[in-house]
């Protein structure tokens, strides 16, 4: 009897040790295959970025400044967008340039942050010239994060002003990521309900070519779907199992015919900005914004759902003048769009890597440490 108990206990210990060994090996393999994003949107000359974050909830806003003006386009793929001044970015409309773009939490209330960015630019006499005043052109997009903390704490015009005032640019800008600005209250993986979600956030990345071309992206990741690494395809963050200890793998659950939760699905949206120093027309910028959404499709599953308001802006500062007329050729635009998709995919992963846990919503780093 004692011998049987001893053997049974030994087997259990060996099994547990094997499980720990498998988990350690799996984490080591993941680390080896998952390259880290690099660069930032501010690597694009003419772009500055500032955040304002209220840690009480948390929530916040992010302002992307292009004070010298920049050509812009937009592409909205989600079924529940919250935007401002996107109609004027239609290539058939008159205004051809923007001076800032605002991304914010707070759902529709967060659009108020754009008023603050407008005031900041107006004080500096930046804007579209009209006979009586210069009119700052400031499109905006919001995400839903009212499900985190006190819903009465929302982005305000003062927050937008503060973010614009704090904006910095250039390769030494050291742009903050994770639980900051528009990504402060973001979460991902809500198909099984908000209580099984993980922390999203704000991420940025850039790609630089030998000829001087730079394409960058900044994304606030607040998706219904799960997040995967752009190269390895490994599931990083998303809906957790009922006990909260493992990733549920929603894509696999859907294929098995398991129905998602209804509650929490509308509490989403991924928004962002891609920028390049190349010269683009308004219609070409819209095409780049469209292609940039491929970066979301590579890293978020499912994406562009009826419950997301996924919106990406594309901005051209035109600082790479030496590219000349070639930069307006369709082939060159295709290259910029492909790079934009890569930059967006990297920015999504950067948001997850930099996210920090908040009460009830674990981050990727903390979750992996405990798994």
| Cα 286 to Cα 298: distance, rounded to the nearest angstrom | 20
CA distance linking residue 205 with residue 40, whole number of Å: 4
Instruction: Identify the DSSP state of 78.
Output: S
331/284: higher pLDDT: 284
**What's residue 329's pLDDT?**
79
Cβ contacts of residue 240 below 8 Å, gap of 6+? 189, 192, 196, 197, 198, 246, 247, 248, 367
What residues are paired with 75 via a beta bridge? 312
d(CA 184, CA 105): 8
φ, ψ (nearest 5 deg) of residue 162 = -65, -40
Phi, psi values for residue 127, rounded to 5°: 160, 180
Q: Which band of pLDDT confidence, cut at 50, 70 and 90, is reported for residue 193?
A: confident
* Range 147-166 average pLDDT: 96
Confidence of residue 12 (pLDDT cuts 50, 70, 90): very low
pLDDT at residue number 268: 87
Q: Is 107 left (phi over 0), alpha (psi -120 to 50) or beta?
A: left
Least confident of 96-105, 143-152, 166-175, 193-202: 166-175
Beta carbons within 10 angstroms of residue 282's beta carbon: 19
Contact 183, 318 (CB under 8 A): no
Which has more confidence, 323 or 13?
A: 323
Q: Residue 307: what pLDDT?
A: 85
Average pLDDT over residues 86-91: 94
Whole-Å CA distances, 177 to 37, 122, 194, 331: 12, 28, 23, 33
What is the CB neighbour count within 10 angstroms for residue 160? 31
pLDDT the model gives residue 258 = 81
Residues in the chain, total: 371
Q: What is the structure's pLDDT at 371? A: 62
**pLDDT greater at residue 224 or residue 324:** 224
The pTM (predicted TM-score) of the whole model is 0.89
CA distance 368 to 366: 6
Q: Once rounded to an integer, what is the mean pLDDT over residues 30-52?
A: 85
Residue 174 has a pLDDT of 85
- 58 cis-preceded (ω within 30 degrees of 0): yes
The reported pLDDT for the residue numbered 264 is 52
Residue 20 has pLDDT above 90, yes or no: no
Q: What is the pLDDT of residues 236-245, one digit of tens each?
A: 999 999 999 9
For residue 255, give both structure tokens. 């294929």
What value does the mean pLDDT take over residues 162-172?
89
User: How many Å apart are CA 173 and CA 306, to the nearest integer?
Assistant: 36
pLDDT score of 358: 95
* pLDDT band at residue 78 using 50, 70 and 90 as cut-offs: confident
Whether residue 149 has pLDDT greater than 50: yes
Omega of the bond leading into 230 within 30 degrees of 0 (cis): no
| 281 vs 216: CA distance, rounded Å | 18
| Interatomic CA distance for residues 133 and 114, integer angstroms | 18
| Digit-coded pLDDT (tens) for 119-147 | 999 999 999 999 999 999 999 999 999 99
Question: Is the model's pLDDT at 265 over the cut of 70?
Answer: no
Mean pLDDT of 247-273: 82
């Amino acid at each position: 009897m004692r011998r049987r108990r001893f053997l049974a206990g030994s087997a259990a210990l060996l099994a547990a040790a094997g499980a720990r060994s498998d988990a350690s090996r799996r984490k080591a393999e993941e680390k080896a295959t998952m390259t880290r994003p690099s660069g930032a949107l501010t690597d694009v000359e003419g772009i500055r970025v500032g955040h304002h974050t209220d840690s009480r909830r948390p929530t916040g806003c992010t302002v992307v400044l292009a004070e010298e003006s920049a050509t812009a386009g937009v592409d909205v793929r989600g079924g529940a967008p919250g935007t401002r001044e996107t109609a004027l970015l239609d290539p058939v409309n008159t205004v051809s340039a923007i001076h800032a773009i605002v991304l914010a939490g707070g759902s529709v209330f967060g659009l108020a942050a754009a008023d603050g960015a407008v005031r900041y630019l107006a004080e500096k006499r930046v804007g579209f010239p009209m006979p009586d005043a210069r009119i700052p052109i400031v499109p905006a997009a919001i995400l839903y994060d009212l499900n985190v903390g006190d819903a009465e704490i929302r982005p305000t015009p003062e927050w937008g002003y503060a973010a614009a005032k704090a904006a910095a640019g250039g390769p030494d800008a050291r742009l903050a990521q994770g639980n900051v600005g528009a990504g402060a209250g973001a979460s991902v993986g809500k198909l099984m309900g908000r209580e099984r979600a993980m922390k999203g956030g704000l991420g940025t990345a850039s790609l630089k070519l030998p000829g001087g071309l730079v394409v960058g992206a900044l994304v606030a990741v607040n998706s219904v779907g799960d997040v995967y690494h752009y190269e390895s395809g490994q599931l990083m963050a998303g809906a957790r199992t009922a006990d909260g200890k493992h990733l549920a793998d929603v894509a696999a659950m859907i294929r098995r015919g398991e129905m998602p939760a209804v509650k929490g699905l509308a509490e989403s949206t991924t928004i962002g900005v891609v920028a390049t120093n190349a010269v683009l027309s308004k219609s070409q910028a819209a095409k780049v914004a469209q292609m940039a959404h491929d970066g979301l499709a590579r890293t978020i599953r499912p994406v562009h759902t009826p419950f997301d308001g996924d919106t990406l802006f594309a901005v051209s500062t035109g600082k790479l003048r030496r590219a000349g007329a070639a930069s307006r050729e369709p082939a060159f635009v295709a290259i910029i769009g492909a790079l934009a998709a890569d930059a967006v995919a990297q920015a999504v992963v950067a948001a997850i890597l930099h996210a920090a846990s908040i009460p009830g919503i674990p981050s990727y780093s903390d979750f992996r440490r405990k798994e």
